[in-house]
Amino acid sequence: MIIRSKAPLRISFGGGGTDVSPYAEEHGGFTLSATIDKYAYCTLTNLSDKTIKIYSLDYNSTTSFLADEELVFDGNLDLIKAAFKVFGVKEGLNLLIHSDMPPGSGLGASSTMTVAVVGALKHYFNMPIELYDVAETAYKIERKELGIKGGKQDQYAATFGNFNFTEFYGNKVIVNPLLIREDTRNELEYRLVLCYTGKTRLSAGIIDDQVKRYINKEIDTIKAFNETKQLAVEMKNALLLNNIDEFGGLLNAAWKAKKRFTTKITDDHIDKLYDIGLKNGALGGKLLGAGGGGYLLFLCQYDKKHLVTSALQKFGGEITQFAFETKGLQTWEIHDERK
């Protein structure tokens, strides 16, 4: 028997950062996100002995260990090893993972992969796939077991899928699915541009710095967090009311607020790409994820998208086509016909 799972990557429109401790505990955080048709995949099969084998197509990396041995976190597929530890796996399994987008893209790839692995393991062990529990388990693996810095937005987005306005109050999370009109969703797909900046990034140092600034009560950083949270509410309302141009302007405001979290968010190359987008017909946009690299998202005037795309490509930006995905985590099983 083969267990397979997939979870969708996400675009974070607004509120990112307010889901990170300690701001979320002290003030509550809001995020607005939507999942897209790019996925993290996991394939799980059983082995006759007690060997656990993990293979990542993305990194062309493998690791293996005995189910009852002490795990060593050495930087090689640690997320997957931590998942096996949390689940207390004591039997032989073979795991194959791959993703449509690399970690560091700003699309939540690492957390999405963790969600896919959690889903596959729950399916294999006939455990209830309750969505809140899946997201919290993925969060525990990343943030608690491995100590990777970050919030909770990505795990919940990948698990639930679709457009969501999510509230974070410390340990309490509330996912509010949004009834976005089909016209609105189609118009967003028509007018959005997803542009790769040319480099991935490691978010931990960026998050460390913005948290430090918040803890040190730097006034502009605190104001930026509060503005980001409020803008997420306004963006949600604009989407629900089909106010697409207003939404584009709010994206621009969100990007200006985000840049005040820490000076590590952006650099000259990212700023130049962003300016090129605005000068050629984008109403607004933002860098996705924690910052430092990955993907820029633009919302264009309806008749200027081709100009924005062309100008970004001339400067070295790579355009990725996408559509919105309405489903979250999916798991299924098939018979291994090779046996």
Query: For residues 318 and 283, is the Cβ–Cβ distance under 8 A?
Result: no
Which of 49, 154, 268, 271 does the annotation list as catalytic? 154
Count of other CB atoms within 10 angstroms of residue 159: 31
Amino acid residing at 2: I
Report the alpha-carbon distance of residue 251 to residue 262 in Å, rounded: 18
Q: 138-143 contacts: CB < 8 A, separation 24 or more?
A: 138/111, 138/114, 140/86, 141/79, 141/82, 141/83, 141/86, 141/114, 142/79, 142/82, 142/110, 142/111, 142/114
Q: How far apart are the first and last CA of the chain?
A: 9
Count of other CB atoms within 10 angstroms of residue 211: 19
Residue 320: burial class (beta carbons within 10 Å; 0-12, 13-18, 19+): middle
Report the alpha-carbon distance of residue 45 to residue 92 in Å, rounded: 9
Task: Give me the residues paired with residue 297 across strands.
Answer: 194, 286
CB proximity list for 44: less than 8 A, separation 6 or greater? 2, 3, 4, 5, 93, 94, 95, 96, 120, 121, 123, 124
Helix H or strand E encompassing 335: none
Amino acid residing at 125: F
Query: For residues 308 and 280, is the Cβ–Cβ distance under 8 A?
Result: yes
Whether 154 is a known active-site residue: answer yes
Give me the active site residues, please: 154
